Amino acid sequence: MSEAFVELNIQSVVKFFEHYSGLLQVVASFIMAYISYRMYRNAIKVSEKPAVVELSQFFIAPLERYLQDLREKECEKFSPMNCFRLLEAKLSAHGYYTYISLLPSNEILLAEFYSILDRTKKRRTWDLRVKELDGLCERLTLRINALKERLKELIEEHRDEIKEKYETIDWLKKSYPTFQDLINSMVNEFYECYIRRKKDQSMGNLSWYYFDDLFNRIKGELSYDLEEIDDIRRRRNDTIENLISLLRDVRDHLKNEYKLTPSEQSLRILSDYY
C-alpha cells in the first residue's frame, strides 16, 4: 500500500510539472532576468563609483561648507562656481598645488550633480530654493543700501558730536586719516555693529566703538528698517538650511547607493580646514 501511495504521489508531481511547465518556465525566465539585471546594475555602480567619489569629495562636501559660510555673509548670492574658486584657493593656500591640477572639470561636476538631482526627483525643489535665495539676496541688498542712505542723513545730523570725539580721541585720528574716512566707515559698519550687538559680541576695532550712546539713538530711529532686514535675513537663512538639507539627502542617497565610506565622501586633505 505504501508503494502504491508513493507511486501515486510521483505521478501527481509529474502531472503537476507537465501541466504548469509553461508557467514555471516563465517564472524561471523572470528570475534569471532579475538576477541578470541586478548583476548589470552592480557592474554599472562599480564603474560609476570613481566619478561619484569625485562628485562627493570635490563638489558636495565643499558645497555644503560653502552654504554654511554663506549664512554669515550679508548679500552674497549663491553660486556653485564661487564654491569651486574657494576650493581652489583653499588648496593653493595650503600648498596642495598638485591637487589643483588634478581637479575634475567644474562643468562636469555640476552636470553630474544636476543628474543626481534629477534621478532623486529633487531638481525642481533645488532650483526653486536657489531662485528663492537669489530673490532674497537681491531684496537684502536693496534694503541695506537704503539703510546706508538713511544712515548718511542721520549721521550728518550728529556731525558736530562725532567731530568733537574725532578731534579729541587719538585712536580715531590714527585709524582714520580724515574725518570723512570715519564717517564713511560708520555708514558701512553700522549694520555689522548691529549684528554683533545682537550676538553680545564686542565691537572690536569698528568705527562705532567710541560712539555707544549715538549708536543706540540711531538704532532706535532705524528700528523698523532693521526689523525688516532681520526678517529677510531669517528667511534667507531658512532657505539656505533647506538647500543644505537637500544636499545632505543627496549625500545620503549616494552613500547608500554606492556603499561609500566616510573618507570617500569628504576631501581628507582639507578636513582640518573645513
pLDDT digits (tens, 9 = 90+) for 221-270: 999 999 999 999 999 999 999 999 999 999 999 999 999 888 888 876 55
Q: How confident is the model at residue 271, as a pLDDT?
A: 59
pLDDT at 193 over 50: yes
Which amino acid is present at 165?
Answer: K
pLDDT band of 101, cuts 50, 70, 90 = confident
pLDDT at 72 over 90: no
Q: Based on the number of CB atoms within 10 Å of its own CB, is 144 exposed (0-12), middle (13-18) or buried (19 or more)?
A: middle
Cell readout for 82 is 564661487
* Rounded Cα gap, residues 54 and 97, in angstroms: 17
For the chain, what percent of residues have pLDDT higher than 70?
A: 79
Q: How confident is the model at residue 239, as a pLDDT?
A: 97
pLDDT at 138 over 80: yes
pLDDT at 204 over 90: no
| Region 126-153 average pLDDT | 95
Torsion of CA 129, 135, 141, 147, to 10 degrees: -110
Greatest mean pLDDT among 14-23, 28-37, 52-61, 179-188: 179-188
Evaluate the CA torsion angle 249, 250, 252, 253 in order and state its sign: positive
Does residue 133 sit in helix, strand or coil?
helix
CA distances from 238 to 68, 69, 191 (A): 11, 14, 20
Q: How confident is the model at residue 46, as a pLDDT?
A: 55
Q: How confident is the model at residue 40, as a pLDDT?
A: 38
pLDDT at 150 over 80: yes
